[in-house]
Amino acid sequence: MTKRSFAAVTGTATLAAALVLTGCASGSGSPAADAGDPVEGGTLTWAIAAEPSCFAPAFHQLLSDRAVIRNYIDSLVYQEEDGTFTPWLATGWEVSEDGTTYTFDIAEGVTFTDGEPLTAVAVKVNLDYTRDAANGSTYAGLLGSVSEITADGQSLTIQLSSPDSSLLDSLSSVALGIVSPVGVELGDELCAIDSGLAGTGAFVLGDYTRGDQLTLTRNDDYTSAPESLDHDGAAYLEEVTYKFIPEDSVRIGALKSGQVDAISGIPALDVAGIESDASLQYLNGPRTSMPFGFTINADAANAPWDEVTLRQAFRDSFDVDAIVESVYRGEVDRAYSYVGGDSPEFDESLVEAWGNDPEGANELLDAAGWTERDSDGYRVKDGERLTLDVTYDSDSIRDSRDTLIEAVQDQAAKNVGIEVNFTTPTWAEVSTQIAEGTWSVYPGSFGKVDYANNVIGVWGGFFFAATDYKPTGAIEAATQAANALTQEDRVAALNTVQQELVMDEAIFVPVAESTFQIAARASVGGLGFDYSSANPDGNYGVWVAATE
């Protein structure tokens, strides 16, 4: 691998690194097993809950997609476990004193797996396409501060309209990973595995059987690993297979029986059994993810839930602590905000500020005119039952979250007379509703996020893109946070965002802190997490010991 120089950074880039550094937790679980020294060759088989929704970084929709995509897609910069940023496809960068101009040196001698060379122009083509909202990428908002991108040889300059404290964080993500410029204009057609999608990554897309499995083969010409990793050159493993097994018990059974080598998504009740098995290892990822919760459509299309008092009543209708404890038995904490509880950007004033207040919720519902009950005990008004439609695409359900929702469903009915109609359609159906603005409630989390751009991009640019209602107060405060030049100003702005989303507008009802988990045979070495997303990492540094 070519030795890389690393330019010192100043201005908002330094702030971004400091913010992430203080916000990262190293994860928990039993220590990784000692699989000995790395072993060249061999294969590894994963069992994962969800089949990828799309194989293209700019168009994937599921968090779990990123663990697969990272195998064949590299990013401009690499996010370390401590939250700092180091060279990857960019060998170094400089930032202007006012934080509005970033100049990157793009690595020389790197090629995509279709033979195209990596150049500054190739990177520009990728970023320009993604940031153009007309092209439909969910992640256009990550580049919302960019006014112009220019390329000259191996030099790439990104000009911002205003400082963006999260730009390096965004550029380290799978979502802004770089694909061959030959295929960029195909847009979401790159989601198909036979589209010609090519990255610079350590593996290449191989055989794929929909509904069954995906095989990745080693890129023997790989030379562009992050400089800070323990080795360079090609990956250790020759081949990696991902089997799609949605049932938790089946994945765990496959691991224990030796049918697979590693799994992701381990229910809390199964952790103790895995940790007590000397032949297995368990890793719990960093608590840098946005917590799991309910995002509620406050638009008139979702009436009567466009009334804020009804949303607040739902928020306070159930006992979050009791539900989370009953489902996770102490393995997962309840959440209070869309910001993870371990983050220095978490607003401590939200602790005990909401939830488990059926009396107050009933008063709000009475005041809103929902005073009558039908024969099933649900509130009615003008002959209509007070129903909240919660749709959670089946591919995204993990960590017993369906059980969480069912517990909320039960308490909302018993405590205040709200009917929660919980369904699990396909992602295609859910995404169509969101695109049309006709969705009601989506339960989920969004992985490791920059908390400012997440609001701008996900709430402002995704959930409410097609609705008349806009979370204006939250978006304005998030924009202030993204443009902040000091951590103090950023935290103050993000506190306003949290108050808007959870308390004032109640369009996000947090439920549980979110982490990803890995369980594997003790013979597997090098497992870990992608700290740009908190997902299980790709398999570049993974190996399997010759014998158990």
Is residue 41 scored above 70 in pLDDT? yes
Model pLDDT for residues 261-319, shown as the tens digit of each residue: 999 988 888 999 999 999 999 998 877 678 999 999 999 999 999 999 999 999 999 99
Lowest mean pLDDT among 20-24, 315-319, 364-368, 404-408: 20-24
Q: What is the mean pLDDT of the chain?
A: 89
* pLDDT beyond 60 at 206: yes
The Cα 435–Cα 463 span in angstroms is 8
Residues 6+ away with beta carbon under 8 Å from 432: none
Q: What percent of the chain has pLDDT over 90?
A: 68
Has residue 26 got a pLDDT over 70?
Answer: no
- Distance between alpha carbon 79 and the CA centroid of its chain, in Å? 15
Map tokens 């859910």 to a residue: 430
pLDDT at 23 over 60: no
- Alpha helices, H only, 208-264: 248-256
Task: Please give the pLDDT value at position 447.
Answer: 61
**Domains assigned to the chain:** 43-286+517-544 (3.40.190.10), 292-512 (3.10.105.10)
pLDDT > 50? residue 3:
no
Could you tell me how many residues make up the chain? 548
3-class DSSP assignment, residue 535: strand
Residue 2: per-residue pLDDT? 31
pLDDT at 10 over 50: no
User: How far apart are the C-alpha atoms of 55 and 64, rounded to whole Å?
Assistant: 11
Contacts 24+ apart (CB under 8 A), 490-496: 490/15, 490/19, 490/165, 490/345, 490/452, 491/344, 491/345, 493/452, 494/339, 494/345, 494/347, 494/451, 494/452, 495/347, 495/349
| Model confidence pLDDT, tens digit, residues 409-437 | 999 999 999 999 999 999 889 999 999 99
Give the span between the Cα atoms of 403 and 292, in whole angstroms: 13
- pLDDT, position 43: 97
Q: What angle do CA 387, 389, 392 make, to 5 degrees?
A: 155
- pLDDT 10s digits, 354-400: 999 999 999 999 999 999 999 999 999 999 999 999 999 887 887 78
Average pLDDT value for residue range 203-207: 96
Output 490 or 408, whichever has higher pLDDT.
Answer: 408
Pick 245 or 23 by higher pLDDT.
245
Q: Which of 35-39, 140-144, 449-453 has the lowest mean pLDDT?
A: 449-453
Range from 2-6, 384-388, 496-500 carrying the lowest mean pLDDT: 2-6
**Band of pLDDT at residue 189, cut at 50, 70 and 90:** confident
DSSP 147-177: EEEEEETTEEEEEESS--TTHHHHHTSGGG-
Q: What are phi and psi of 174, to 5 degrees?
A: -60, -35
Residue 63 pLDDT level (bands cut at 50, 70, 90):
confident
Q: What is the pLDDT of residue 165?
A: 81
DSSP E strand stretches across 188-246 = 203-209, 213-218, 239-244
Confidence of residue 33 (pLDDT cuts 50, 70, 90): low
Q: What is the mean pLDDT of residues 451-463?
A: 83
Q: Which two tokens stand for residue 32?
A: 């990784």
Please, is 519 exposed, middle or buried when counting C-beta atoms within 10 Å of its C-beta (0-12, 13-18, 19+)? Answer: buried
Q: What confidence tens digit (pLDDT) does each residue in 241-258 have?
A: 999 999 999 999 999 999
3-state helix, strand and coil shares in percent for the chain, rounded to the nearest 5: 30, 20, 45
The answer to whether the beta carbons of residues 426 and 395 sit under 8 Å apart is yes
